[in-house]
Amino acid sequence: MPKPPALSPPQPDFARLPDDLPRPVDDGAASHLLASAIPSVALDSTMGGAVDLSRVPGRAVVFAYPKTGRPGQQPPLPDWDMLPGARGCTPHTCGFRDLHGEFTALGIRVYGLSTQTTDYQQEMVKRLHVPFPVLSDSELRLTRAMRLPTFKAGRQTLLKRLAWVSDDGKIVKLFYPVFPPDKNAEEVLEWLRANQPKIRKPRTASKERK
């Protein structure tokens, strides 16, 4: 009798988080970022052109993630789900996508960041209808300049999951480690609402003394 065809392994649903997702611990790899100035590095954007995060005026949010998966493909490593902080890039991104209108209402720009190429990111942006720029640091220029926390997946260097709030290119709030990834956007938004920058009143000209 002919052998039955081999069953293909089940495809992961990257939009959902496993119940037993391991929690990452704070290894101190991002502690130097708070209150630091973002270095001037131009990164390719999924919206075309390049973005220099050091030159973004006002308040902005940047969230970094390791690597989004693609439908029909297996994870980068067989034990991807067991690596703390690895799984969850699609829910992480979708969280900021779903709340983007509320960030915009506060006058805050949102940027995604990963070490994937822009072409790789473009597929995700179109498929998930992401309304904000996702920046590519495939050459690791910003990663090395800022000493962002990373880990290895095969031959790839991937960013550990984190987020920050910057004011005129200076980091004023850091979220690291991020867990669970699908709640990070809510956490950032809650902090922003509670910590809105004070509006500086213009100085009035002093009267001349007689």
Of 5-9, 187-191, 194-198, the range with the lowest mean pLDDT is 5-9
Segment 2-11, tens digit of pLDDT: 555 443 444 5
Is there a contact between 113 and 38 (Cβ–Cβ < 8 Å)?
no
Segment 46-61, tens digit of pLDDT: 999 999 999 999 999 9
CA 83/CA 27 separation, integer angstroms: 14
Q: Which CATH homologous superfamily contains domain 31-69+81-194?
A: Glutaredoxin (3.40.30.10)
DSSP sequence for the chain: -PPPPPPPPPPP-TTS--TTPPPP---STTGGGTTPBPP--EEEETTSSEEEGGG--SEEEEEE-S----TT---SSTTGGGSTTTS-HHHHHHHHHHTHHHHHHTT-EEEEEESS-HHHHHHHHHHHT--S-EEE-TT-HHHHHHT--EEEETTEEEEPPEEEEEETTEEEEEE-S--SGGGHHHHHHHHHHHTPPPPPPPPPPPPPP-
Residue 198 is predicted with a pLDDT of 73
Residue 80 is predicted with a pLDDT of 80
- Which pTM value belongs to this model? 0.86
The alpha-carbon radius of gyration of the chain (Å, integer) is 20
Query: Residue 79 contacts by C-beta under 8 Å, 6 or more apart in sequence?
Result: none
